[in-house]
Amino acid sequence: MRKLTVSAFISLDGVIQAPGGPEEDPSGNFRLGGWIVPYADDAISGYLQELFAERFELLLGRRTYDIFAGYWPHVPAGSPSRGIADLLNGVPKHVTTHRPDTLEWQESHALTDTLADAIRALKQQSGADLLTFGSGNMVAQLLAADLVDELRLVIYPLILGRGKRLFGENAPASAFRLAHSVSTPHGVIITRYVRGGEVRTGSFDADDQGSV
């Protein structure tokens, strides 16, 4: 079975809206778009290079797809981003959309079933693992359907106060295990979490203090 990984740039208070620029997603009067840009450095670039070094197919919501499709096919030759552009342009892209006839980026495929059913079917197929960026509304549905196998969170030392958040109240309780973490010179924490079973609970009542 294929694995589904969610990669997200996220603030300390869980916001993932418009990390790369003001025009990405100003909905809800969000005015802090581009909040990851001042923290860009070689460590973040290294994280992306490592992430893209593995075989993958992209899974994208329609808004994120449109942002990517408006940028990556047009990266000029000689640009430092050209290598990533060639990679993203070439991999299969599975897109949640009600407008399948408008998917013009090469290797794009519309998901025609309900999202949960479509992803379950994709995960059963052979091939590269599935990787998603951004796509907050879609990721919320994937978490609610318990379909996410791995979280790769790049956590920025910011409290944004408002904006779309990665985790809502519909996700089932589940535990993850920290498989890797590293901090950048600017205080960004790059993490990798894998599924860790069910949530365990306990008590610090007086009767339990001897075992703490």
The verdict on residue 211 lying in a domain is no
4-11 and 150-156 strand pairing: parallel
How does pLDDT run across 168-209, given as a tens digit for each residue?
Answer: 888 888 999 999 999 999 999 999 999 998 999 999 986 655
How does residue 142 score in pLDDT terms, banded at 50, 70 and 90? very high
Total domains present in the chain: 1
pTM score, whole prediction: 0.88
The verdict on residue 204 lying in a domain is no
The verdict on residue 208 lying in a domain is no
The verdict on residue 61 lying in a domain is yes
Long-range contacts of 201-207 (CB under 8 A, 24+ apart): none
- Tell me the torsion sign for CA atoms 208, 194, 125, 70: positive
How does pLDDT run across 1-27, given as a tens digit for each residue?
Answer: 899 999 999 999 999 999 999 988 899
CATH of the domain at 85: 3.40.430.10
Domain extent, residue 42, equals 4-130+139-199
How does residue 29 score in pLDDT terms, banded at 50, 70 and 90? very high
